[in-house]
Amino acid sequence: MKKIHLSWKDIGIFLLILILSNILISTIYLYTSLSLNANNTLLLLATSISFAYLGFRTGKKTTNKGYISGLIVGGISTFIMFIISIILHNYFSLFKILYYALLILITVVFAIIGINLKKGS
């Protein structure tokens, strides 16, 4: 099996986008009259953007199929988020499964886009 090359810079940018956007959106929610549904939607959008970045960068650097790289990187990232979520919240729901499946799907799609743009260049 070929290695997926992901640099520390890519992981750092992924985490930076994820953490800073969540802090910013949570602060806006705290100090404004933003509804909970709007806040959750913005958090989903910010998390999706960070996973899209991670998938795109993975696709640009891999020599495998894009969907395999996206599944591996997205699966590992969402598994880590899932474990942290279980530890902190201590509950499990169908909504969480759908949420993490969506994040994996976004990573796979953007890894496919990334590998196709690499081949076109």
User: Is residue 88 domain-resident?
Assistant: yes
Q: How far apart are CA 25 and CA 28, in angstroms?
A: 5
User: Is residue 108 domain-resident?
Assistant: yes
Q: How many structural domains compose the chain?
A: 1
User: Is residue 1 domain-resident?
Assistant: no
User: Is residue 3 domain-resident?
Assistant: no
User: Is residue 36 domain-resident?
Assistant: yes
* 3-state helix/strand/coil string of 62-76: CCCCHHHHHHHHHHH
The 8-class DSSP code of residue 99 comes to H
Q: How far apart are CA 116 and CA 113, in angstroms?
A: 5
User: Is residue 2 domain-resident?
Assistant: no
Q: List the domain range (segments joined by +) for residue 36.
A: 8-120
- Tens of pLDDT along the chain (121 residues) come to 455 666 677 778 888 888 899 899 999 999 998 898 999 899 999 999 999 988 898 888 887 777 888 888 888 888 888 888 888 876 778 888 898 899 999 999 998 898 888 765 5
0.85 surpassed by pTM: no
CB burial string 74-88: b at 16+ within 10 A, e below: beebbeebbeebeee
CA 90 centroid distance within chain = 22
Q: How far apart are CA 91 and CA 35, in angstroms?
A: 23
Report which secondary-structure segment, H or E, holds 34: none
Q: How far apart are CA 86 and CA 89, in angstroms?
A: 5
